[in-house]
């Protein structure tokens, strides 16, 4: 079952690689939930670790994830395992990206502009 949440990135951890070769990276997203914002920890594993490379704290994102649960020594643990991150429209972690620079000119769309060439 797939879940989604939207919020602002609070923290992105460095990747951790274990002796077994397993790699994970965690990100905390602050979700506005009424009066008390919630800091949600999501983990990205193996090939999904790279999805965080072009993101930074403060960005608005929507994250798709699965809930994973397991038992260990009679205790139960849950993880939110993310597999997709989409930056909010108009937001970009790359300052050289065209989406990062606002369109200069009047009118409501690109087609409304008189192009001098």
Domain boundaries, the chain: 2-89
Give the predicted TM-score (pTM) of the model.
0.72
Return d(Cα 81, Cα 69) in angstroms, integer: 10
Tens digit of pLDDT for each residue in 6-47?
Answer: 999 999 999 999 999 999 999 999 999 889 999 999 999 999
| C-alpha dist (Å) from residue 57 to 17, 30, 52, 65, 87 | 22, 10, 11, 19, 12
Rounded to the nearest integer, the mean pLDDT of the chain is 83
CATH class of the region 2-89: mainly beta
Greater pLDDT, 2 or 10? 10
Tens digit of pLDDT for each residue in 64-80?
Answer: 999 999 999 999 999 99
Least confident of 2-11, 15-24, 93-102, 108-117: 93-102
């Amino acid at each position: 079952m797939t879940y989604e949440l939207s919020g602002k990135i609070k923290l992105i951890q460095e990747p951790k690689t274990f002796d077994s070769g397993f790699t994970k990276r965690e990100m905390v997203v602050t979700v506005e939930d009424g009066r008390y914002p919630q800091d949600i920890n999501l983990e990205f594993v193996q090939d999904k670790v790279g999805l965080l490379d072009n993101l930074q704290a403060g960005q608005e994102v929507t994250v798709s994830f699965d809930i994973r649960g397991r038992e260990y020594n009679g205790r139960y643990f849950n993880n939110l395992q993310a597999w997709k991150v989409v930056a909010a429209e108009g937001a970009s972690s790359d300052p050289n990206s065209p989406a990062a620079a606002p369109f200069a000119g009047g009118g409501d769309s690109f087609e409304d502009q008189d192009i001098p060439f």
